[in-house]
């Protein structure tokens, strides 16, 4: 049998392969629903739950996206504020209410900017990163998900809340700018 790596070009095909893998228990989570979009929140491709029952917001695409962590943060903020309406939207919505929702990004690769952002993000902002590969074996296509592990630097000595604050912000021109002492104090208060 010949096995070949296949580059996916359509997001719809990736979603179908991912749903098929999760339905057979080969994925790292269970899928509850598809597509949630509001005026206040970027489109959530899939709603799922991890094996512990925690709610997961899942973003997928066939090309790397530098904005993926920012979209995930906006999605998580919206879900935290509106979690009570989700059981009305999805039939099989049973999640661990005590666990904060999480996000999973599934892409063929992650740009260095995304990896750097996640390493520098506060520890309370956790994203699961999965790199996918699609394979063709005869007449069947299947998806392989590989979890991307990113080491966060150990926290510096001092206040743990201070250690969780990223040392930068994005300036008006899109450049990374160091936070001032005043900005850090405002964030921590």
Q: How many helices (H) and strands (E) does the chain have?
A: 6, 9
* Domain ranges, ordered by start, for the chain: 3-153, 161-189
The predicted pLDDT at position 41 comes to 85
Q: Report how far residue 21's alpha carbon sits from residue 18's, in angstroms, rounded to the nearest whole number.
A: 5
> Is there a contact between 125 and 70 (Cβ–Cβ < 8 Å)?
no
Residue pLDDT, tens place only, 104-143: 999 999 999 898 888 888 877 878 999 999 999 888 888 9
Would you tell me how many other CB atoms lie within 10 Å of the CB of residue 170?
11
Architecture of domain 3-153: 3-Layer(aba) Sandwich (3.40)
> Is there a contact between 22 and 31 (Cβ–Cβ < 8 Å)?
yes
Block residue for tokens 């900017």: 113
Is 90 exceeded by the pLDDT of residue 10?
yes
Average pLDDT over residues 64-87: 90
């Amino acid at each position: 049998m010949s096995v070949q790596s296949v580059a996916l070009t359509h997001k719809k095909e990736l979603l179908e392969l991912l749903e098929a893998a999760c339905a057979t228990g080969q994925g790292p989570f269970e899928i509850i629903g598809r597509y949630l979009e509001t005026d206040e929140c970027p489109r959530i491709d899939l709603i799922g739950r991890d094996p512990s029952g925690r709610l997961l917001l899942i973003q997928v695409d066939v090309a790397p996206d530098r904005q993926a962590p920012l979209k995930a943060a906006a999605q998580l903020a919206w879900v935290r504020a509106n979690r009570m309406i989700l059981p009305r939207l999805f039939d099989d919505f049973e999640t661990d209410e005590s666990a904060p929702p999480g996000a999973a990004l599934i892409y063929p690769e992650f740009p260095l900017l995304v990896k750097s952002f996640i390493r520098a993000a506060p520890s309370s902002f956790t994203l699961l990163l999965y790199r996918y590969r699609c394979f063709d074996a005869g007449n069947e296509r299947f998806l392989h998900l590989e979890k991307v592990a990113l080491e966060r630097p150990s926290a510096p000595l001092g206040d743990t809340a201070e250690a969780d604050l990223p040392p930068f912000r994005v300036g008006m021109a899109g450049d990374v700018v160091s936070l001032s002492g005043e900005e850090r104090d405002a964030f921590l208060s």
